[in-house]
Structure 1
Amino acid sequence: MKKFLVTPTFLLIIQMIGYAQTHGESKKFEINDTYSIEMVWIAAGQFLMGSPESESERNPSREKQHQVTLTKGFWIAKTETTQAVWESVMGDNPGKIKSPNHPIESVSWDDTQKFIKKLNKQGAQFRLPYEAEWEYACRAGSTGAYAGDRDVMTWHSGNSGRTTHPVASKEPNAWGLYDMHGHILEMCQDWFTEDVSTYNFDPKGPKNGTRRVQRGGQYTGRIRHSRSADRQSGFPNQNAFFVGFRLVHD
């Protein structure tokens, strides 16, 4: 993997482009005549992806800490995609714990691509986040294991009652994003590989693989799997009651 030299001049260019809008600015994107999705602007920048060796309960082979540069900003949904939005587009609701304002789960990565294809028929540019984008947004400028007080931000096996909850029931991170820690695992666009420390510049992961990245922890899992750096994966055609997604718009 080619190494990129990130100079002060290059960073200044990133800041001039990326901070034309600031982190946390929100905007609504129409899905159809009934629903819209509120999204938050994430400006371009740099961050340390992965976890330091001192972080408790880390996975050293999956979480090697490395600097990542994102040269383009993006819009990311404030919340996980709800069952109401899914049903309004797809006409069905495969969710196990059915409630309109709960996150859609029990859908596969392949299913999400069909959903996104329908959304983009009218020229929209929705997609899943790349893994580096997801962690950058999750951290919201933080460098610890969690982007704040985990007890007020996270649904996990110790407090969820083994059920999902309405989205945005917990506290958001500093950039206004809800449920980045816990609740349901969120699918990313990337193929999964154990070590991503060589992907440093607008990373999109390997070109092929067998599993797709999942991030954020989930309501029947241990809280340690809700850490900002924790990395999971699943097969593209696999659906699970604890896996869903949130959207990005370019």
Structure 2
Amino acid sequence: MEANAAHEMITVPAGRVTLSDRRTRRSWPVEVAAFKLAPQPVTQARYAQVTGAWPSTATGDRLPVEGVSWGDAVRYCNALSRREGLAPAYRIPGEGDGDRAGDGAGERAAAEGTEWDPSADGYRLPTEAEWEYACRAGTEGPRYGPLDEIAWQRGNAQDRIHEVGGKRPNAWGLHDMLGNVWEWCWDLYDPEVYGTYRVLRGAGWFDEEWSCRASVRRRSHPTFRIDDVGFRVARSVPR
């Protein structure tokens, strides 16, 4: 894997992953194009640097930002893109019209009308397929290593969140893909059943061992905020 120190990103090669859903008992293969992914979740210091906000319950520069909605995450991606002179990946209704993160109208607009421009070179959330493919890093089992060595979870986290990068990364140099905080992905979970609910992956510091697996899917409304949900950023690689 090729690290990009300037943007704290790792280039993930193209490949194929098979997703599965325990609820519906179905599975489906996905071809994944090469892309870039941050080696760790967005930290509180980085989030504050870009947005000026400290939304988290626990406080620490190197703790993952949590207490952020899916709408907060996509707005962060656009703000970071503009900060670095890149084309924003998302068209967000009401963005720039005075909506504040957390305003009801702005949240609903982000949930219902945000569009992704795949041609943009800016930051974005990973797709669910990209996330699982990157998490597995070429492995086929439920985890990319022994649980206690790779993840903060209920059995070892002492009921609290931990600084990013404290556990062993996977073979591609990605830390905290399992445990510490759940991570928002771009995808709708099941629009016919759950409407605008978005996918969460990876499990958090309070989750049991069962949840800390590469294949586990969770869903929540894109306005949802809680102390074990954060995100990491991705970028597309020009073809």
Q: Which amino acid aligns with 2:54?
A: N
Q: Which amino acid aligns with 1:178?
A: H
Q: CA deviation at 1:63?
A: 5.9
Q: CA deviation at 1:174?
A: 0.9
SS in 2 for 1:187: strand
Q: Give the aligned partner of residue 136 of structure 1.
A: 133
Q: Give the aligned partner of residue 41 of structure 1.
A: 11
The correspondence for 2:81, drawn from 109, 116, 120, is: 120
Looking at structure 2, the residues matched to 142 and 63 of structure 1 have their Cα atoms a distance apart, in angstroms, of 22
The 5 Å alignment of 1:135-174 reads 135-174=132-171
Aligned length: 199
Structure 2 stretches lacking a partner, 5+ long:
88-121
Q: CA deviation at 1:118?
A: 1.1
1:75-131 Cα deviation digits (max 9, x unpaired): 000000000000001112011110000100001111112211211222251000000
- Stretches of 4+ aligned residues off by more than 6 angstroms: none
1:186-243 Cα deviation digits (max 9, x unpaired): 00001112xxxxxxxxxxx98x932110000000111211100000011111111100
RMSD: 1.7
Q: Which amino acid aligns with 2:2?
A: E
Q: Give the aligned partner of residue 244 of structure 1.
A: 230
Q: Give the aligned partner of residue 106 of structure 1.
A: 67
Q: Give the aligned partner of residue 118 of structure 2.
A: none
SS in 2 for 1:93: coil
- Are 2:61 and 1:91 aligned? no
The correspondence for 1:76, drawn from 37, 40, 43, is: 37
Is the 1:131–1:188 Cα contact (8 Å) retained in structure 2? yes
Is the 2:184–2:231 Cα contact (8 Å) retained in structure 1? yes
Q: Which amino acid aligns with 1:163?
A: R
Q: Which amino acid aligns with 2:209?
A: I
Is the 2:124–2:234 Cα contact (8 Å) retained in structure 1? yes
Q: Which amino acid aligns with 1:139?
A: R
SS in 1 for 2:62: coil
1:14-51 Cα deviation digits (max 9, x unpaired): xxxxxxxxxx211034xxxxxxx41111111113333x
Q: Which amino acid aligns with 1:157?
A: R
Structure 1 stretches lacking a partner, 5+ long:
1-23, 30-36, 51-58, 194-204
The 5 Å alignment of 1:198-237 reads 209-237=195-223
Q: CA deviation at 1:62?
A: 4.9
SS in 2 for 1:186: strand
Is the 2:11–2:37 Cα contact (8 Å) retained in structure 1? yes
Q: Which amino acid aligns with 1:103?
A: P
Q: Which amino acid aligns with 2:175?
A: Y
TM-score by length of 2: 0.79
Looking at structure 1, the residues matched to 14 and 133 of structure 2 have their Cα atoms a distance apart, in angstroms, of 10
SS in 1 for 2:5: strand
Q: Give the aligned partner of residue 65 of structure 1.
A: 27
Q: Give the aligned partner of residue 25 of structure 1.
A: 2
